[in-house]
Amino acid sequence: MPNSPNLALPYILANQAQKHVPHNDALALIDGLLQLSVISRGLNAPPGTYIDGNRFLIGAAPLAEWLGQAGLIAFRNAGLWQFLTPRKGWALWVEAENIFLIYDGVNWVAPPVPQILQNMSLLGVNATADAINKLAVSSSAVLFNNVGNGIQLKFNKNALADTASLLYQTGFSGRAELGATGDDSFHIKVSPDGALWKEGIIVDASSGLAKVFANPTDPLGVATKQYVDAAGSGAAAGTSGQIQYKNGTAFGGFTASGDATINTATGAVTLSNAAVSLPKMANMAANSILGNNSVASATPLALTAAQVKALLAIAATDVSGLGALAIAASVNLTTQVIGTLQAAQEPAHTGDVTNAAGSLALTIAAGVVGNAKLAPMAAFTFKANNTAVVAAPADLTVDQMQVAINLQGQMAANFLIMN
């Protein structure tokens, strides 16, 4: 009996007996093929329960009643299994997986991606789009790659007062936003809760100047050519090379002076010569001296006495004992009796000068001061005392000596006796 070329439906022949049989067979096949949807795919034997009308895409190694029907569609009809052979182009919905497949003549594959998508009202990629978010994407990353030399992501707004921005959220609550919000200048603002927003930076659309919205006494970490208070008004003032300040809504300028100067071009602060006096220096460690004991130019250090001695190449024996003698219990200078020392400090002397150990009273020994140890005398002088009282010897001239011994008077007396 001939069948139709595409669906292989049986024809009713002329003078066909029991015409209802091929007609009903054709209707059954149409019922199995129309709106083709299978409960599942990949089974190799009928499931435990099924009813008429159930359809299954048979697996690669069928058994039992499906034996030999690999890759066919099993259709339960009137208590029997019928098998439909797929043809290229058939479309199939798999209910268990919620997927749509197309038969390419060998395998069931996913439908090809449309080449053109135009004027779609909603598009969700692993997400559900809605009336506000007409494009919704749920993904760990999104890639936009160029097809030429560059790529642009464009945000177009309808009017000046509208918004074209990038909004960053936490838990679908806004935390940071950047873009043209409310005007054509570029805004960067943040929020701790999605309700209260604070401007961080605005780049003016006309001038290109950036306004930093922060307390000017706080570190900004941003180099600016001039500061303009975002909450104030007025224009920049002062003269070239001055630092600008704001007083109310007026602006002025000043030049730094005194102990330090400021280079307004670079921002460098320079200490004036001789500005750092002793009171302005930081406290030094106790018993330390400022110096540099390294082999290269370096920042001054607070050196200890030992470090200074090492730097000056003073051995410990060179000053042996000055510190020890001052604090030693046996030679404590602070409790020393005036005029005496410990025997170790002032030993007993012998020779021309003598003393008792520890005594500072030095005595010139008798008979030790000979002519050789006297200081040189002036020419033609005598050592004598020509005063009427006890006194130190003096160098007397000849005339002084004659007067001292009354030489003329003595000679006159001798003359009278001789006569």
Would you say residue 26 has pLDDT above 50? yes
- Say what the pLDDT of residue 14 is: 65
Band of pLDDT at residue 131, cut at 50, 70 and 90: very high
**Phi and psi based region of residue 275 (left: phi greater than 0; alpha: psi -120 to 50; beta: remaining):** alpha
Residues 6+ positions from 349 with CB-CB distance below 8 Å: 355, 362
Section 91-109 average pLDDT: 92
369 closest CA partner among 385, 348, 383: 383
- Say what the pLDDT of residue 230 is: 46
Section 21-29 average pLDDT: 60
- Say what the pLDDT of residue 57 is: 94
- Say what the pLDDT of residue 333 is: 56
Element containing residue 99 per DSSP (H, E): strand 99-103
Note the pLDDT tens digit of each residue in 206-225.
Answer: 999 988 876 656 665 555 55
Strands (E), 272-335: 289-291, 301-303
Contact, 165 vs 174, CB < 8 A? no
Domain ranges across the chain: 35-109, 375-418
Lowest mean pLDDT among 90-99, 140-149, 260-269, 292-301: 260-269
- Say what the pLDDT of residue 113 is: 82
Section 271-296 average pLDDT: 86
Would you say residue 232 has pLDDT above 70? no
- Say what the pLDDT of residue 329 is: 47
Would you say residue 43 has pLDDT above 70? yes
Note the pLDDT tens digit of each residue in 303-361.
Answer: 888 888 888 877 766 655 555 554 444 555 556 667 677 676 678 888 888 888 878 78
Contact, 320 vs 312, CB < 8 A? no
Section 198-209 average pLDDT: 92
Would you say residue 284 has pLDDT above 90? no
Retrieve residue 28's tokens. 């059954």
Lowest mean pLDDT among 15-24, 184-193, 198-207: 15-24
- Say what the pLDDT of residue 194 is: 94
Distance CA 45, CA 302 (A): 93
Note the pLDDT tens digit of each residue in 74-84.
Answer: 988 888 898 88
Ranges 32-46, 77-91, 145-159, 366-380, most confident: 145-159
How far apart, in Å, do the first and last CA atoms of the chain sit?
211
197 closest CA partner among 188, 210, 205: 188
- Say what the pLDDT of residue 231 is: 47
DSSP string, 91-129: EEEETTTTEEEEE-SSSEEPPPPPS---S-S-EEESS--
Note the pLDDT tens digit of each residue in 141-187.
Answer: 999 999 999 999 999 999 999 999 999 999 999 999 999 999 999 99
Distance CA 193, CA 170 (A): 9
Percent of the chain with pLDDT over 90: 32
* 55-58 and 41-43 strand pairing: parallel
Lowest mean pLDDT among 28-37, 59-68, 70-79, 136-145: 28-37
Contact, 35 vs 100, CB < 8 A? no
Name the average pLDDT for the chain: 80
56 closest CA partner among 46, 68, 67: 46
Q: Which residue has the higher pLDDT, 6 or 174?
A: 174
- Say what the pLDDT of residue 237 is: 66
Lowest mean pLDDT among 31-40, 101-110, 298-307, 352-361: 31-40
- Say what the pLDDT of residue 257 is: 79
Q: How many CB atoms lie within 10 A of CB 232?
A: 12
Would you say residue 419 has pLDDT above 50? no
Element containing residue 354 per DSSP (H, E): strand 353-354
